[in-house]
Amino acid sequence: MEDKDENLISHLEDLRSVLIKCLIALGIGFIPLFFASPYITDMLIKIVIGNTGIPLNYFSPMEVFMLQIKIAALSDLLICCPYIAGQVWLFVMPALYENERRFVRSLSLISATVFVLGVLFCLFFISPLIIKFGAGFATSDIKAVFGISNVMSLVLMLSVIFGVMFQFPLITHFLIRMHIISYNGVKNKRPYVLITVLIISGLVTPPDIVSQIMLTVPTYLLFELGLLSAKKYK
């Protein structure tokens, strides 16, 4: 009994050490990224607004400052993502067999990469489409006046959501490969998966059909990709 308690305490100490290292890495990275955030903000505006020519406005003295903090935090998370994945890997490695270690090692690296790809996909493809869609309602009597905080907060939120939702094929592959769920069971429940993706997209995106569709379609396609990659484990 004492050995179990000692092992539990040891694991909790290791977990605390991992969390502290990750927080320190995020804290160290945040400082230079905060000073770089004005340049990152300008770059994001050019990417999102593109050639629409729509000016962005701010309506309170601290609005841009708070926005730069958000941008620095997200940039920090993206840059530290591989390091965090590596620390998590080192934490779980002692409890795994050699074949499981190889799998989890590759899964951690792929997960961090896919998260970044999801963020970049949202920034370069989804966000400009949403802005162009919104600007398309402007007429001679209706002017498009976008607030920088609203636009950039929407872009940052969607970027994180896309990064998380891009983990869908990895989760599907992992659950099937570890025989937690069966391939045929998931395959036969495709309609329910689609409905679930639609519901989640409706909950996490702004209340407009464009954002929901743009999140639903790639997420479901990624689910199919994960299902296909796990077919040999059925």
Total domain count for the chain? 1
Segments in the chain below pLDDT 70: 1-9, 11, 94-100, 206-208, 233-234
- The rounded mean pLDDT for the chain is 81
pTM of the model: 0.73
In a domain, 124, yes or no: yes
Owning domain of residue 42 = 2-166
Tell me the per-residue pLDDT of 48-107, one tens digit each, with 9 for 90 and over.
887 777 888 888 889 889 999 989 998 898 888 778 877 877 777 766 666 667 777 777
What secondary structure does DSSP assign to 155-220, as a single string?
Answer: HHHHHHHHHHHTTHHHHHHHHHHTTSS-HHHHHTTHHHHHHHHHHHHHHHS-SSHHHHHHHHHHHH
In a domain, 172, yes or no: no
In a domain, 62, yes or no: yes
